Amino acid sequence: MTSVGHRTGERRAIGLDIGGTKIAGAVVREDGTVIAELTRPTPEHSDTTTTGKTLLGITERLHADHPEVLAIGVGAAGLVEWPHGLIRWAPNSAYRDWPVRVELEDATGLPTVVDNDANVAALAEARLGACRLRDMVLLTVGTGVGGGVLLGGRIYRGPTGRGAELGHMVVDPDGPRCGCGNHGCLEALASGTALTRMGRDAAADDPDGLIATLARDEPGGTVTGETVTRAARQGDPTAQALFTRLGRWLGVGIASLANIFELEAVVIGGGLVETGDLLLAPARAAAREFAYAPGVRGVVPIGPATFGAEAGVVGAALLGLEHAASSRPGRHAGTP
């Protein structure tokens, strides 16, 4: 008798999402349903050994409880060498040249695939989001700005998997310094980090303003992006102006991407999308303003992502299932 994990529509995989603050794992059905979840903090000293033990512990627990899973998919922040599953470098982490794919396959015997976290989140949106899309960009706007590109229904990675670093396209060469060391990256101007920086500048300029007042009630008494968001939602014009500036830069970046590619949509994920039109309205306005030949090409639709915090594990699991299917004997191996 065929196990439930192999019935049509019931195939399952383990999806893993390696972030700077947490590692999430889930058993996911191919329709995107999450069956089981485990989350652990990313080790404070996140070198290969400590982070690897945490990742393997999550994987083995999920595999033991759900032996029917067919594959493992991993999404990881940083530069992932494709298709070898080697994490070359990750922001805010100590590990380098980590052979995640080999370690998980050796430990579990399951086919494993590893990709950038924004790529797998984009796959989840394209396959299972509100609209089924073949040509799209996902921008994750949180602490930084990540990006995933699907062209013709396939993830664009470049020849070695290091392509589509959308958060580090330069939109203002005279702009602020980015965490990558460059100046004027989209991430430096349109991220949660940028919102925090601008909020602190605004509070210093107006110590009696609402941003500064709210910050005094925060742990440590410092301004964060959440402080600015609270002030904006309370109608503070200074905080709302900061969101207008942030969203405008995001829209400039989106217009540039839409001018290069012909896209069905740009989908915005990450924590800041929860602010809704505070972010999206100025982004849409700027994308219209800087669109090339909008009367002929139109203006790319911009909308919020369908998946929230689970986008990483869902997309990773989908990638794992696609990889497993393409690797079956007698099947032509493809690259999802």
* pLDDT average per 10 residues of sequence, the chain (336 residues): 46 93 94 95 85 95 97 93 91 85 96 95 91 92 92 92 92 94 96 96 97 91 95 98 98 97 94 95 98 96 90 95 74 45
Alpha helices in the chain (DSSP H): 48-65, 100-108, 117-128, 186-189, 192-205, 210-215, 225-233, 237-260, 277-289, 294-297, 311-326
**pTM, whole model, 2 decimals?**
0.86
Measured distance CA(164)–CA(176) in Å, rounded:
21
pLDDT of residue 2: 29
- Three-class secondary structure assignment of 221-263: HCCCHHHHHHHHHCCCHHHHHHHHHHHHHHHHHHHHHHHHCCC
The residue out of 78, 99, 123 marking a domain boundary is: 123
In a domain, 318, yes or no: no
CATH number at residue 99: 3.30.420.40
Q: Which 8-state DSSP code applies to residue 19?
A: -
The answer to whether the CB of 15 falls within 8 A of the CB of 321 is: no
State both tokens at 300.
Answer: 């790319």
pLDDT of residue 180: 87
In a domain, 192, yes or no: yes
- The CA distances from residue 243 to 100, 104, 169, 184, 191, in Å, are 38, 42, 20, 17, 10
Measured distance CA(20)–CA(78) in Å, rounded:
10
Place of tokens 């219209």: 288
The residue out of 54, 89, 123 marking a domain boundary is: 123
- The CA distances from residue 301 to 166, 216, 249, 304, in Å, are 18, 39, 17, 10
In a domain, 225, yes or no: yes
Q: Are residues 87 and 187 in the same domain?
A: no
Rounded to 5 degrees, what are φ and ψ at 114?
-130, 135
Q: Are residues 166 and 78 in the same domain?
A: no
Q: Are residues 115 and 145 in the same domain?
A: no
Q: Are residues 200 and 63 in the same domain?
A: no
The answer to whether the CB of 223 falls within 8 A of the CB of 232 is: no
The answer to whether the CB of 311 falls within 8 A of the CB of 125 is: yes
In a domain, 250, yes or no: yes
Upper half-sphere CA count for residue 186 (Cβ side, 13 Å): 24
In a domain, 325, yes or no: no
In a domain, 185, yes or no: yes
Which residues form the domain of 102? 4-123
Strand partners, 76: 18, 116
Measured distance CA(178)–CA(335) in Å, rounded:
32
Instruction: Tell how strand 79-81 and strand 86-89 pair up.
Output: antiparallel
Q: Are residues 156 and 289 in the same domain?
A: yes
Q: Are residues 119 and 135 in the same domain?
A: no
pLDDT of residue 217: 87
State both tokens at 304.
Answer: 């919020």
Measured distance CA(255)–CA(266) in Å, rounded:
10
